[in-house]
Copies of this chain bind each other. A is one copy, B any other.
Amino acid sequence: MAANANQVFIAVIGAGGVGKCFLSQLQSLAARRPSPKLTLCYLATSRKALFNDDYSAVNMDNALDSLSASSRTPPPLPQVIEYLAAAPAKTILVDNTSSQDVADHYPLALSRGVSVVTPNKKGFSGSYQLWQEIFIASSTSGAKVYHESSVGAGLPVISTLKDLVDTGDKVTKIEGVFSGTMSFLFNSFAPTEGQGGRWSDEVKKAKSLGYTEPDPRDDLNGLDVARKLTILARLAGLPVESPTSFPVQSLIPSQLESCTSGDEFLEKLPEFDDQMEETKTAAEKAGKVVRFVGSIDVASKSVKVGLEQFDRSHPIAALKGSDNIISFYTERYGNNPLIVQGAGAGGDVTAMGVTADLLKVISQLS
């Protein structure tokens, strides 16, 4: 088949919470867009795959059912990328996993002309070498790479930072609340009005409401926020080596680091409530509240993640629910930063960032 400029092939890896929402948005999009025609040519999880060797379309309408029923296992990623690179139209790989292995293959995909769209943080927050390989491969081949939802889900965070930098503004500082889980926890534990609950109770409540990872330690260790800060710092021009190369405060008490399960951790957590209570009281005495924030100071090249105190009227203190808030201080914006705020987690809003990125790539390919 000859390459068809009026068609774009989409390959999707991952069918979890975000993946399912994305497939539903893709289906609506394909129905709405007569041109270019969007063809789903590959859909896979880590265990199953759905594709046709002759590149005929996978039916989007029942793709998840067909995937469940499929007897094909996913080929090794280099083989998947060759399949996509040889497709008879421009191809976009949508990585809806949080897999390091998939991220490690972005340079190969990009160098073979396959564009990449993803909410997966791993490719952009792991080693600095991988980051460089990704963007060198993209600029050499012309294939695009977009990852808006890797920070703040569908909020316009990465696109805004890129616009600031690309138009010649100087970003001086970025600070904010980058985790929906941490936002929810601290808005409940140390509210601007009223008392708030015991720390371990709030963690259990957040888990039962689905606001934490299955193992809440994956939120409390601060690594998720550190990964997001790494991405933003690099975009702002700091060659941060990895998310462990700057100070990150973990909220896992050192005595509980050896717990073998999340359940054991949650069981023992109440023994350490006094520590967090002290932190809260110290802030209260200063007329403030405590929040878990990340900040990047570009001039001093310092990146850090952890607890800080804020005035009750500060936008970071006044945040609601599980909202994120990100403030960009720049030369042009002066003392009053450019602020983006809203839900920074959730399947639909994360998928929205992926779909919006997909549309941007399509507009550049077709």
* Residues in chain A within 8 A of chain B (CB atoms): 25, 28-29, 154-156, 159-160, 163-164, 166-169, 313, 315, 318, 320-321, 323, 332-343, 346, 348-349, 352, 355-356, 359, 363-364
Q: Contacts A336-B320, A339-B340, A343-B334; is A355 near B156 (CB within 8 Å)? A: no
Apart from A156-B163, A156-B340, A169-B352, what are 9 other A-B pairs with CB-CB below 8 Å?
A156-B159, A163-B352, A163-B359, A320-B336, A332-B348, A332-B349, A332-B352, A336-B343, A364-B364
Contact B339 A29 (CB under 8 A): no
Contact A352 B167 (CB under 8 A): yes
A336 to B339, CA, bound (A): 15
- Scoring A159, A168, A346, A356 by chain B CB atoms within 10 A of each residue's CB, the highest score goes to A168
Contact A339 B338 (CB under 8 A): no
Write out the residue numbers on chain B whose beta carbons fall within 8 Å of the beta carbon of A156. 156, 159-160, 163, 340
Contact A29 B155 (CB under 8 A): no
- Scoring A332, A341, A359 by chain B CB atoms within 10 A of each residue's CB, the highest score goes to A332
A338 to B344, CA, bound (A): 10
The residue from B159, B164, B359 contacting A167, defined by CB atoms under 8 A apart: B359
Contact B340 A167 (CB under 8 A): no
The residue from B167, B323, B333, B334 contacting A25, defined by CB atoms under 8 A apart: B167
- In the complex, the count of this chain's copies comes to 2
Write out the residue numbers on chain B whose beta carbons fall within 8 Å of the beta carbon of A334. 343
Contact B315 A355 (CB under 8 A): no
Write out the residue numbers on chain B whose beta carbons fall within 8 Å of the beta carbon of A168. 25, 28-29, 355
Contact A340 B340 (CB under 8 A): yes
Q: Contacts A25-B168, A313-B318, A364-B364; is A163 near B356 (CB within 8 Å)? A: yes
Contact B341 A338 (CB under 8 A): yes
Write out the residue numbers on chain B whose beta carbons fall within 8 Å of the beta carbon of A339. 339-342
Expressed in whole angstroms, the minimum distance between the Cβ of A202 and any Cβ of chain B is 19
- Look across to chain B and name the residue whose beta carbon is closest to the beta carbon of A27: B168
Write out the residue numbers on chain B whose beta carbons fall within 8 Å of the beta carbon of A346. 332
- Look across to chain B and name the residue whose beta carbon is closest to the beta carbon of A343: B333
Write out the residue numbers on chain B whose beta carbons fall within 8 Å of the beta carbon of A164. 352
A253 to B247, CA, bound (A): 58
What 9 A-B pairs come out closest when comparing CB atoms? A338-B342, A163-B356, A339-B341, A167-B355, A156-B156, A332-B348, A167-B352, A28-B168, A156-B160
Expressed in whole angstroms, the minimum distance between the Cβ of A72 and any Cβ of chain B is 30
A169 to B24, CA, bound (A): 12
Write out the residue numbers on chain B whose beta carbons fall within 8 Å of the beta carbon of A355. 166-168
- Look across to chain B and name the residue whose beta carbon is closest to the beta carbon of A192: B313
Contact B338 A29 (CB under 8 A): no
Write out the residue numbers on chain B whose beta carbons fall within 8 Å of the beta carbon of A342. 333, 336-339
Write out the residue numbers on chain B whose beta carbons fall within 8 Å of the beta carbon of A359. 163, 166-167
Write out the residue numbers on chain B whose beta carbons fall within 8 Å of the beta carbon of A364. 363-364
Contact B343 A341 (CB under 8 A): no
Contact A29 B320 (CB under 8 A): no
Write out the residue numbers on chain B whose beta carbons fall within 8 Å of the beta carbon of A25. 167-168
Write out the residue numbers on chain B whose beta carbons fall within 8 Å of the beta carbon of A338. 154-155, 340-343
- Look across to chain B and name the residue whose beta carbon is closest to the beta carbon of A33: B166
A164 to B334, CA, bound (A): 29
